[in-house]
Amino acid sequence: MKLRFMLKRFFALVVTVASFQVAMAQSSVTGKVTDQSTGAPLSNVSVTVKGSNRGTTTSSTGVYKLSLQAGDASLVFSSTGFAETEVAIGGKSTIDVSLATSSTKLSEIVVVGYGSQSKKDVTGAVSSIKGDQIQNLPVSGATQALQGRVAGVNVVRNGGSPGNAGSIRIRGTGTINNADPLIVIDGIPSGDLNSVNPNDIASVEILKDASASAIYGTRAANGVVIVTTKRGNFEQPLKVSVNSYTGMSQARKTLDVLDAKTLVTLKKERYLNDGIDLNEAWNNPYNLVQRTNWQDELFGNGITNNTDVSLTGGSAKSSFMISAGSYNEKGIIQNSYFKRYSFRINSDHKVGNRLKIGQSLQITRGADNSLNTLSAQDGLIWSAVRFMPFIPVKNENGSWGSSQSEPNQFGDINNPIFTVNTVDAININTRLLANVNAEYEILKGLKFKTNLGVDGSHGSNRNYNIIISDQTRARAENSLSRGFGEGYSLLSEYFLSYNKLFGKHKIDAVAGYTAQTFDGDYFSASKRNFPNEAASQRYLDAGQSLGGIGGNRSYDALQSGFARINYDYNKRYLLTATFRADGSSKFDQGNKWGYFPAVSAGWRISNEKFFNVSFINDLKLTAGWGQLGNQNVGGLQYLALIGNAGNYAFGNTTVGSTAQTRLPNYLISWETAEMTNIGLSAEMFNRSLQVSVNYFNKTTNDMLLSPPTIGTVGRLSIPDKNVGVLNNKGIEIDLSYNNKVGDLSYRVGANASFIQNKVVKLFDGNYIGSSIYGRQSQEISRTYEGLPLGIFYGWKTNGLYQTQAEIDSDPNLKNDSRRTDGLVAPGDVRFLDINGDGKITEGDRTNIGSPHAKMVYGFNTDFNYKSFDLSLFFLGSQGVKIFNADRMQGIDPTYPFNMYAETANRWTGPGSSNSIPRMSTKRNNLNYRTSDMFIEDGSFLRLKNISLGYTFNESFTKKLGIGRTRFYVSGQNVLTFTKYSGLDPELGYVDGNKQLNVDYAQYPQARTVTLGLNVSF
Amino acid sequence: MKNSNFYKGLFILLTISMVGCKKDLLESTPYSQSTSNTFWRNATDAVSASNALYSLLGDENLFPHTEQTWDICSDDQWRAGDHGEDQAIEEFTFDASNPQLGFSWSLKYEVISRANAILINVPKIEMDKALQDRILGEAYFMRGLMYWQFYKIYGQVPVITEQNVIENSYNVPKATMEEIESRIETDLKTAGDLLLATNDDANIGRATKGAAWGYLAKLYLYKEDFAKAIEYGNKVISGPYQLASNFGDNFEAATDNNPEMLFSIQRIQGWTEDNYCSWYYAPRPWDGWGFQEPTDDLVNEFEEGDPRLGYSIARVGDMIEGGPGGAPREYTEGLNNTGHYFKKYAKWRADGSGVNMDLDVPMLRSADTYLVVAEAKIRSGQSGDAEINAVRERAGVNPISGADIHDLIHERRVELAGENERHADLIRWDKANIVDIVALYAQDRGQWKRPRTFTRPRNYYFPIPQRQIDLSNGVLVQNPNYQ
């Protein structure tokens, strides 16, 4: 019903507009527009009379016809990806034009939600990355490929394990909850960016501000990433492209640890210092022999292989793109891997003159074995750093080396090489992303569009645990667990778009309805006690006792209406207004619906008559404001849930049990981000220099926080409440310069973002805690009002006590019973008494550093000289702190582990060291508590990628029957400049967004050298 | 052509109205869970809720490990294992952020929360009165038991009852000592009234009157209300809770559900969680984790020929059932640091397939209650011989006469060795000037029990976990001895 009403309104509008068309035709001109490089006809090329608003577009066969008036001097042809071309009319009645491809940004079309816009008309903050910028990088997914490409978009990687994607943060971390942007792939919101083969991508648009992203309403608060995949062109001859590369990767560095001899010396010294009996284990001469550097054993050569093939082409009525790809990455840790197979069919069809139908289909299958490299209890790298160096990988009798003889001295760690060789785990994820869209032109300029899509995923995992008898962390029983899950999201969208040019007014409008459902279902089962561990017996039926069985279902839905209008007056004044209403199943009746308005305006100063600066070709000032939502939070929180509360037995009678699992919050609702954006963009010096500067200020209100879960509540999960306020503000700068000198053409691009993150309000002014580290349950990160998210929280220190006199006279310990009890000794850390009570207590903990970078930046250059091309891409982060938790444990002699090599320089007497405490088995002074001793400068500059290519002369390759052929060699993570002492300064988020830049000895990113070949024919 | 396109367009429009008009699109369903509106329907729901009182007891961070850890402070055991935080607990150098202090805090309140939910909702269910009483009794018992644990460890803690749940107010100050004692007393008394004396086979292991009275007698002993300790202790002794004929029966999977076992955590391999006690107490080379090893000092406390030593503590040369292949294997030097492990908590399956997860975790035996009555009698000037000798004779040790408090102290130490009583007992006796805990703990007992500094009155209680203090935003105040 609503729709028919809208249709009527549009018809009325069209009639009104048509009445403005009063100019009389005096003569006409016609012609055909083709692609200069292929000769193919170009459709939809805009043809306008220079100095007027009169114009037309070319037909599917590239033909146009235009009426002329007296005084019309020349025509301007413009189309996406081609250089704007001006041709003098000179009385001709036929003007054929072939357009050259162009890198000039002004003519670009950018994809925005539910439509596209010419970049010069954009009033919001939209960044665009072209597919060719991210092709053939040896990365497992498109997320990584976006790293450092544009200002305001930060890809944070937590470790470099194969298949690990990292998180995208647009304009800072917008909420303590899920701050991932909405991913829209070929018009389907909710897709997984890493399911797309990066070589299939035509462009990625990033909607950064409220005006640009408000059309996505409750899902837009953290920005929107729109991925458009490649499609065929009509009337295009068949083109086959093959991309293939192979890469070799290695660990960039390892951590220096103690050799066997020094380790034994230091272990012994602990007992001497403590005045207690030496554990006999340390007198065994066997332990003085250095046998294994465990990190060298763990890290090896990784190999990455990628091959993909694509076919594109089209007839007058149909066009297609078909691609298939295989990506296979073996990580630098033995036996770690990620594989991806991808397949795609995109096609477009014209049915008559008014109806267009398009289709996209993507099937991706990914598999990995997700080795444990994050745990500070038994993670692989963590273990390799700590395992005793005198233990061999294998004993002479062929059995695995083990710490079993003295687990309390040699650590309850299993031989990490044993672990990687016996792990039997796999996660497989198959994704289907498909849509059909139709576009029906009701009247010229008025189109009805529909988009029906499905995003499906099927996941399966298996994990087989063998019996472990000859390692310290033994396992008496083997077990197998399997899980299966599937998720389906169905999308239906219907909208009208209208665009019209009349006089000096240009209108572009879109309005519609969309609904999307999300269904999930899973089950898992495990069995124990498999009598035979042969590979052929590792299936559930072979297990003799039941482990557990579980399964559940979930459902969520969104229903929305949206509208946007773009208005352009005389190419000078631009206005965009957007509105979206979203209903979400995640909230209770009465709180389901949210309304999100946004408006922005632009002023193209350079088109003003008074503007007369010869070197500036284009200058635009924009400003916008809007509200966005975030409903990406746990569902059902408005219900008091009662569920399974575990098993019990009474004698031999087995029972289940039921208890409340969650308290309800009936008022729960979405988070609202309010954002202001001011931007200035300019093109200068004959469009060779492009500059864009944006300022934004974004406040997330009603941020959902779980109230501090005070222990008296028990273990009930506490629903979130809309109480928090978070602010992000910052400046983004993008620069690009291109030039040509003789045969050398080059482009230099740089971007930088300066973002400040500040928590304005939390629950009752209380803090929010985060993950705790290691066996001492050490708290590292906290979030407080008035500070950025997840600051490091602990004690401040000032070197070590060198003498007993220093301890006796230290005001920090004036009233501390540990001083009088003799529990603090020379060589211990001097902690600072922040609250001035003369004791070192929990009250002395404070903010000791922020994990947020002051500046993140990227820098890239491309050179083309004759047949050679060279590109370099740098990525950097400045003014950032890392909490090196692995070092905190790595120099702590109270653990039964090997230690960092620097521990050899420990305090041994006055003046010997002021940073590495004395050796002791005791924790009396808690020297290794969370303190500023373990905070390091995490700034880095990394040559992320360097690539040198050679394209064979086409006259030569044509003789071989092939077309363009390029051979290249590239390096990934080639150089890293940093003062950071850990494995890798690129660290990510843990525990949602509550902890950042804490080093757990994560899987480091590898250094990779790649050889590749692109051939098309 | 034109017409056919028109129909195609119409078809699409029809699709819109079909999908778009789905009315209940935004309704969500909590699959596999109930809500407060769909639960508490009948006796089945009430029983299921009562089962949830028990299902957490075996959590690693509740009784099988964390609550056992407090006894590493005693002279009976050395901490062993590799939990660095335990050193500070054993040596009294911990501060409030020691992780061990916090592990069980919220789990105990979770049991309390489950009890409160039953006390609020079960009375409204129309169901068999006897069953309803039993379930309410179980809830009172479990709440009383949790506050009893809190009381022993921290002294004062917040008391959360039905009223807090109804008012949704959980961030409350500590109750006074009297309030906590009175809460435990009321809950256990009410439980004693409502619970059954014994349960049928299908319900064995549920709380009984005997369990409630056993803990109540202990509370009165701690409060030095000896008359009441004797009164409630005698209810147990004269009830259907006779001592097992064989001391060792209490610590074997096949016989651990006997009348003496007033309360225990029931385990069934593959159904309940694993018996973490077994993991923690079994020697590491024998599939366990090798924690909490008996000291030689404890071994020496046993009288010559006391059979309880053989059931309680392993010594080098012992043959232990359930080795690889099912054959007994010899307990040798080097399996544990002290050369001992607590046999009460670690058994192996007869077929040699590893640690026996069917073994229950004993919480309270009537033998303990006999000794509670004996202590109350001795400390109030009466003879405790009868109760002490009941325990001794069952064990196969000669009776004694004219037993004084030191005989009682000895008897508790050997009868309840490793059962997480010793440190709390010593504190009780120190407060009553019966022992000098400071001097006792200052003794050097060799490499595996060095001298330690116990500070009076600070170490009578452990500090409230720092995280709880921080989270309470000033409402919860730390024990002044730890400020």
Percent of chain A at pLDDT exceeding 90: 58
In a domain, A151, yes or no: no
Range of the domain at A97: 2-102
Are the Cβ atoms of A779 and B80 closer than 8 angstroms? no
By Cβ distance, the residue of A440, A545, A585 closest to B28 is: A585
pLDDT tens, A94-143?
888 888 766 544 457 888 888 888 888 888 888 888 888 888 777 777 88
pLDDT over 50 at A628, yes or no: yes
pLDDT tens, A390-439?
999 999 999 999 998 887 889 889 999 999 999 999 999 999 999 999 99
Are the Cβ atoms of B272 and A663 closer than 8 angstroms? no
Residue A59's domain is classified under what CATH number?
2.60.40.1120
Phi first, then psi: what are they for A571, rounded to 5°? Answer: 55, 20
pLDDT value at position B11?
62
Cross-strand partners of A778: A773
In a domain, B337, yes or no: yes
Residue with tokens 């284990």: A281
pLDDT value at position B197?
97
Are the Cβ atoms of B26 and A895 closer than 8 angstroms? no
Counting Cα atoms < 13 Å in the Cβ hemisphere of A731 gives: 6
DSSP state, B410? H
Q: What is the DSSP string of A247-282?
A: EEEEES----B--HHHHHHHHHHHHHHHT-PPPGGG
Are the Cβ atoms of A643 and B32 closer than 8 angstroms? yes
Is A741:A343 a contact under the CB 8 Å cutoff? no
Helix (H) or strand (E) holding A308: strand A302-314
Cα–Cα distance between A380 and A376 in angstroms, integer?
9
pLDDT over 60 at A309, yes or no: yes
Q: Which tokens hold the place of A134?
A: 């991210």
pLDDT value at position B292?
95
Q: Which tokens hold the place of A325?
A: 């790809």
Q: How far apart are the two ends of chain A, measured CA to CA in Å? A: 52
Is A717:A661 a contact under the CB 8 Å cutoff? yes
By Cβ distance, the residue of A636, A639, A842 closest to B95 is: A842
The complex's ipTM works out to: 0.91
Mean pLDDT in residue range A478-497? 94
Please give the tally of structural domains in chain B.
1
Question: Does A771 reach chain B within 8 Å, measured CB to CB?
Answer: no
Question: Does A544 reach chain B within 8 Å, measured CB to CB?
Answer: no
Are the Cβ atoms of A714 and B107 closer than 8 angstroms? yes
Buried b (16+ CB within 10 A) or exposed e, A492-505: bbbbbbbebbeeee
| Number of neighbours of residue B167 by Cβ within 10 angstroms | 9
Range of the domain at B312: 276-359
pLDDT tens, A661-674?
888 888 889 899 99
Query: Which residues in chain A are closer than 8 Å to B117, comparing Cβ atoms?
Result: 659-660
Are the Cβ atoms of A769 and B337 closer than 8 angstroms? no
pLDDT value at position B483?
84
Residue with tokens 């054959």: B327
By Cβ distance, the residue of A276, A559, A777 closest to B26 is: A559
3-state secondary structure of B180: helix
Cα–Cα distance between A647 and A669 in angstroms, integer?
35
Are the Cβ atoms of A440 and B5 closer than 8 angstroms? yes
pLDDT value at position B351?
86
Residue A843 identity (one-letter amino acid): G
**Nearest CA to CA, how far is A610 from chain B (Å)?**
49
Are the Cβ atoms of B32 and A515 closer than 8 angstroms? no
Query: Which residues in chain B are closer than 8 Å to A556, comparing Cβ atoms?
Result: 28
Are the Cβ atoms of B52 and A404 closer than 8 angstroms? no
By Cβ distance, the residue of B28, B102, B272 closest to A649 is: B272
Q: Which tokens hold the place of B455?
A: 């500070």
Query: Which residues in chain A are closer than 8 Å to B93, comparing Cβ atoms?
Result: 818, 823, 922-924
Q: Count of H helices and E strands in chain B?
A: 19, 7
By Cβ distance, the residue of A450, A555, A592 closest to B29 is: A555
Question: Does A764 reach chain B within 8 Å, measured CB to CB?
Answer: yes
In a domain, A682, yes or no: no
Of A180-184, A610-614, B224-228, the range with the lowest mean pLDDT is: A610-614
In a domain, B468, yes or no: no
Q: Which tokens hold the place of B135?
A: 């379930």
Please give the tally of structural domains in chain A.
1
Are the Cβ atoms of B34 and A764 closer than 8 angstroms? no
Cross-strand partners of A168: A155
| Number of neighbours of residue B432 by Cβ within 10 angstroms | 11
By Cβ distance, the residue of B1, B201, B354 closest to A476 is: B354
pLDDT band at A820 (very low <50, low <70, confident <90, very high): confident
Cα–Cα distance between B125 and B42 in angstroms, integer?
6
Helix (H) or strand (E) holding B109: helix B105-121
**Nearest CA to CA, how far is A462 from chain B (Å)?**
20
**Nearest CA to CA, how far is B295 from chain A (Å)?**
17
pLDDT tens, A58-108?
887 888 888 888 778 888 888 766 777 778 888 888 888 888 766 544 457
Is B142:B115 a contact under the CB 8 Å cutoff? yes
In a domain, B93, yes or no: no
Q: Which residues contact B439 (CB under 8 A, 6 or more apart)?
A: none
Q: Nearest Cα to A833, choosing from A816, A812, A817? A: A812
Are the Cβ atoms of B447 and A450 closer than 8 angstroms? no
In a domain, A9, yes or no: yes
Are the Cβ atoms of B2 and A556 closer than 8 angstroms? no
Q: How far is CA B9 from CA A28, A53, A434, A679, B3, in A?
A: 34, 32, 21, 41, 10
In a domain, A787, yes or no: no
pLDDT value at position B163?
94
Q: Which of A642, A718, A767, A793 is best to mutate for the B interface (most B CBs within 10 A)? A: A642
pLDDT value at position A725?
94
pLDDT value at position A75?
85
Is A144:A198 a contact under the CB 8 Å cutoff? no
Give every residue of chain B whose pLDDT is below 50, as ranges: 1-2, 17, 20
Dmax (CA) for chain B in angstroms is: 115
pLDDT over 60 at A3, yes or no: no
Phi first, then psi: what are they for B180, rounded to 5°? Answer: -65, -45
Residue B179 identity (one-letter amino acid): E
3-state secondary structure of A22: coil
Strands A97-99 and A27-35: parallel
Query: Which is it for the CA torsion B16, B22, B26, B31, positive or negative?
Result: negative
Of A512-521, A933-942, B81-90, the range with the lowest mean pLDDT is: B81-90
Q: Which of B353, B355, B444, B470 is best to mutate for the A interface (most A CBs within 10 A)? A: B470
By Cβ distance, the residue of A636, A648, A766 closest to B266 is: A648
pLDDT value at position A77?
85
Question: Does A376 reach chain B within 8 Å, measured CB to CB?
Answer: no
Q: Nearest Cα to A828, choosing from A695, A927, A898? A: A927
In a domain, B332, yes or no: yes
In a domain, A25, yes or no: yes
DSSP state, A350? E
pLDDT over 70 at A208, yes or no: yes
Cα–Cα distance between A5 and A959 in angstroms, integer?
62
Q: How far is CA A737 from CA A11, A30, A685, A698, A734, in A?
A: 46, 37, 10, 30, 10
In a domain, B457, yes or no: no
Residue A49 identity (one-letter amino acid): V
